[in-house]
Amino acid sequence: MNTTANTVNSPLTGKAARKIQSFEAVSIVDHYSRDYGIDISRFFHEIKEISVYECTDTHYRFYYPFSLSADEKVYDQLQEFSWYYVQQKWDFGQALSYVKPGDSVLEVGCGNGNFLEKLVIAGAKGIGLELNRKAIDEARRKQLVIEQEVVEHFAQHTQEKFDVVCAFHLLEHIWNVKDFIDACIACLKPGGHLLFTVPNHDFMGQPYNPLDKPPHHMGLWGRKAFKGIEKAFPIRLTHVHYSHPKPEARPILVNELSRKLARLPPVLRSMSRFAGTCYPFVPKRYKADVIMAVFTRR
C-alpha cells in the first residue's frame, strides 16, 4: 500500500482516495469505556485523529490509519454481551436460498459453526475457516469440518472448488479488503455465488453506533460500494437483500429523518415536523441495519 503522509490510497485500487471526514480518536475511546467498559486506548497511541476516505473508483469508504484493527481481546470482551452474537440470523436463511443440495460451500469466519450446521440439514457440503481456537473446538465437537487458516492462505491450494463462498459480518472488520476478496473469488467456481453480509452504511441509525468505527470496523459498506467493486474484481452484483427494520430502532430513525429534513431549503424545512408520518415511506435500504450482497463470479 503506497500511502504517504500527504496521500492515502484506496486499499482496493491503490489509487489516491478522497478524504470525507475526520473525528477525534479520544471520542471513540470514551465511547467504548462508557458504553461497554472496554479500554481501547492502546490502539490510538499517538493517534489524535481518525479519518474516513472514499475510493473514487468504487465508492468504498474506509477508516485511516489502517493500523487500528481490533485484536482478539476486544472481540472476546464484546462477546460477553448477549446482544453481540445472535445465533438465529436472517442472513443465514437468505444465504441458504442460494445453496442447492450437493453444493460445496465455504464459510469464511465460521465461528462455532451455526451456519455450517444448517448446510448439513440442507444437504450441502460445508467447510469453515476460523482462527479462534475456542470456536473451532466447539464446531469440531459438532463433527463439522473446520480449518484453522485465513482465506488468503487457503486459496493458494483450493482454487475454483466451491459453488458458494460466504462471509457473514466479517468484511467490515478487514482493512486489506483486496487480498481478502481476491482469495474468496479464487476459491469460487466460475458462475458460483459470493455472499457478503455487513452492517448497512446507508442505515440512518448507523452514525449513532460507536461499534461502526475502529478498532471494531475498518470499512463502510452499502449498495453503492458493492456495485462499485464490480470494477475491481471479476464478479457481478446480482442481488441485494436488507434485514427487516427493527421496531425498537424507529425512534432513533425518526429523529435522524427529522434532522435531515430540517436541512432542506427553507420552503421545505417545515416537513421535519412530520418525520414520523413520512417514516413508513422511507425506502428499506435506509431503515435496515444489515445488507447482504450476492455476486456471481464471471
Per-residue pLDDT band for 138 (boundaries 50, 70, 90) equals very high
Nearest to 36 by CA among 87, 80, 86, 67: 80
Q: Is 136 left (phi over 0), alpha (psi -120 to 50) or beta?
A: alpha
- How far CA 19 is from CA of 9, 22, 61, in Å, comes to 10, 8, 9
Q: Please give the sequence-ordered ranges of beta strands (E in DSSP) within 156-225, or none if there are none.
A: 162-168, 188-199, 219-220
- pLDDT of residue 250 exceeding 70, the answer is yes
Are 195 and 164 in contact, with CB atoms under 8 Å apart? yes
pLDDT, residue 264, reads: 66
- Cα(109)–Cα(91) distance, rounded to whole angstroms? 15
Per-residue pLDDT band for 269 (boundaries 50, 70, 90) equals low
pLDDT, residue 14, reads: 96
Give the strand pairing for 125-129 and 219-220.
unpaired
**In this predicted model, what pLDDT tens digit does every residue of 170-183 receive, in sequence order?**
999 999 999 999 99
**In this predicted model, what pLDDT tens digit does every residue of 50-90 receive, in sequence order?**
999 999 999 999 999 999 999 989 998 998 888 887 666 78
Count of helix runs (H) and strand runs (E) in the chain: 12, 11
Nearest to 194 by CA among 161, 151, 130, 237: 237
Are 283 and 291 in contact, with CB atoms under 8 Å apart? no
pLDDT, residue 79, reads: 86
The residue type at 4:
T
Tell me the average pLDDT of the chain.
91
pLDDT, residue 2, reads: 55
The percentage of the chain sitting over the pLDDT mark of 70, rounded to a whole number, equals 90
- Cα(195)–Cα(197) distance, rounded to whole angstroms? 7
- pLDDT of residue 204 exceeding 80, the answer is no
Query: What is the arithmetic mean of pLDDT over 194-198?
Result: 98
pLDDT, residue 189, reads: 98
| 201 alpha-carbon distance from chain centroid | 9
- Cα(64)–Cα(56) distance, rounded to whole angstroms? 15
DSSP letter at 211 equals G
Q: CATH for 90-205+234-245+293-297? A: 3.40.50.150
**Sheet with strand 49-54: strands edge to edge:** 18-24, 49-54, 61-64, 219-220
Per-residue pLDDT band for 203 (boundaries 50, 70, 90) equals confident
Per-residue pLDDT band for 254 (boundaries 50, 70, 90) equals low
The percentage of the chain sitting over the pLDDT mark of 90, rounded to a whole number, equals 73
* Domain ranges across the chain: 90-205+234-245+293-297, 247-284
Q: Is 239 left (phi over 0), alpha (psi -120 to 50) or beta?
A: beta
In the three-class reduction of DSSP (H, G, I as helix; E, B as strand; rest coil), residue 157 is classed as: coil
pTM for the model: 0.90
> Which position has the higher pLDDT, 159 or 275?
159
pLDDT, residue 285, reads: 86
